[in-house]
Structure 1
Amino acid sequence: MFLGIPKRALIIVAILAGVGLIYVMGTDKRPSEGATGGGSSGCRVTVTADVLNVRAAPDPRAEIVGKFNQNAETAAQVEVQNGFRKIADNKWAKTEYLKPVNGATC
């Protein structure tokens, strides 16, 4: 026992925390992986929604190809169509849930 907490409970909490951390880190990066030229424009954005869907096209009915959690930061492009900002090739996110980071040229 450590501080009155059974060893088994500490192990379970540590495993759950590790899995949660890996999940959060992975979902923040997944939509922007493989972005070609995304950062060359100097445009970086932060997600303001709890969870933001990344779509294959600038259309609310387009296939969801990734997700960002709130406060995730990613490179983006200056191109905006139909209320969506281009994140990378075939990756678009609703502009109303993206806030340019300080100093970004979006």
Structure 2
Amino acid sequence: MIEEEQPEGLSARKLVVETVKHNVLTAYNAKDGVDLLKRFPNVDAVLVHSGQLSRSPNLLGVVKELCPGKPIILASPFAEESRPEAAFVVDSHKPPELLKLLGEDLQI
């Protein structure tokens, strides 16, 4: 999970995902997220908040290179936003959408 530098936002989303028994690695910025994925590339999926893309426009491409074949989920306040590298877009303000995606759709 690569989120904005707002620990309270990251903590809330992380807690939501952990409630359904997922282990979550977290990074507050793109550099730390990339470093984390280099150390732990065997993840089930990568969630990136769209706010990171204004500071690191290449982030999704780098994530795709580091974790080939793994789904990239873009969390965005704009549900219609899409990026070719992201397999899924979820509304960042609707945690049930993320849980449904992880549980039912991806079966992670």
TM-score computed with the length of structure 1 as normaliser: 0.24
Higher strand share: 1
Q: Which has the larger radius of gyration?
A: 1
The TM-score, its normalising length taken from structure 2, stands at: 0.24
Larger relative contact order (C-alpha < 8 A, sep ≥ 6)? 1
